[in-house]
Amino acid sequence: MAESKSNPLTQELYDYVLAHNPPLDPVQRELVETTHTALADVAGLQVAEEQGPLLAFLVRLTGARHIVEIGTFTGLSTLSMAEALPPGGRVIACDVSEEWTAYGRAAWAKAGVADRVDLRIAPALDTLRGMPEEPHIDMAFLDADKENYIPYWEELVPRMRQGGLLVVDNVLFHGQVPDPAATGAAASIRAFNDHVLADDRMESVLVTIADGLTLSRKR
């Protein structure tokens, strides 16, 4: 049996991790605090604090110019990626909530990157199916309704450029995915993870960042 080398993530250790990562900028920090104040009941939908700098790092690492985000919420992940884009780059941000994304709109404007974000309020599958079918996406971030992860994947993968990066959040789903009796969203993520594993169009790794993150590169 493989032996885990992971350390229990105490609050003290988590604070240490954040202290040794790039800090959130003032607009990002304000957006985090606003989300937790104004939307306390659903603030857990926001990406983990360490994921913002990671997404920005991946944008710079890959040189991505055309990014698609499925699931925007209040726009912290969008802001992190938009700020890391090179000139002329953009993020197509897909969500169904005018209320939640209004917080993102304000933050993107305050950070001076509103012109880099193309927010589309519509079912994301409709938005994806309306995009050109040929490969044109450099990077995608998937963090939306778990039941549609496989359909989202199947719309995204053919549109990814060779070497393009697809990043998927919540692939451990609160630790519930090993349970074969899992139901609801946990069962959907369990099925999605098996689907990714069997997809030879992509080279994928699942890592224990936040609630689990899959990094997948188009072959």
- Name the residue range of residue 109's domain: 11-40+47-218
Say how far apart CA 35 and CA 33 lie, in whole Å. 5
Strand partners, 143: none
Q: 117-121 and 202-207: which strand pairing?
A: unpaired
CB count, 10 Å around CB of 46?
A: 22
Residue 20 lies in a domain: yes
Residue 212 lies in a domain: yes
Residue 180 lies in a domain: yes
**DSSP code for 44:** G
**pTM for this model (two decimals):** 0.95
pLDDT of residue 204: 98
Q: Give the CATH number of the domain where residue 115 resides.
A: 3.40.50.150
Run of H or E residues at 153: helix 149-156
CB 103 within 8 A of CB 35: yes
Q: Give the pLDDT of the chain (219 residues) as one tens digit per residue.
A: 788 888 888 999 999 999 999 999 999 999 999 999 999 999 999 999 999 999 999 999 999 999 999 999 999 999 999 999 999 999 999 999 999 999 999 999 999 999 999 999 999 999 999 999 999 999 999 999 999 999 999 999 999 999 999 999 999 999 999 999 999 999 999 999 999 999 999 999 999 999 999 999 999
Residue 210 lies in a domain: yes
pLDDT of residue 1: 72
Closest CA to 47 of 209, 217, 156: 209
| Phi, psi dihedrals of residue 139, rounded to the nearest 5° | -155, 145
| Phi, psi dihedrals of residue 157, rounded to the nearest 5° | -55, -45
- Residues, the chain: 219
How many domains does the chain divide into?
1
Torsion over CA of 65, 106, 169 and 215, rounded to 10 degrees?
A: 20
pLDDT of residue 147: 97
Residue 190 lies in a domain: yes
Residue 1 lies in a domain: no
Residue 2 lies in a domain: no
Residue 3 lies in a domain: no
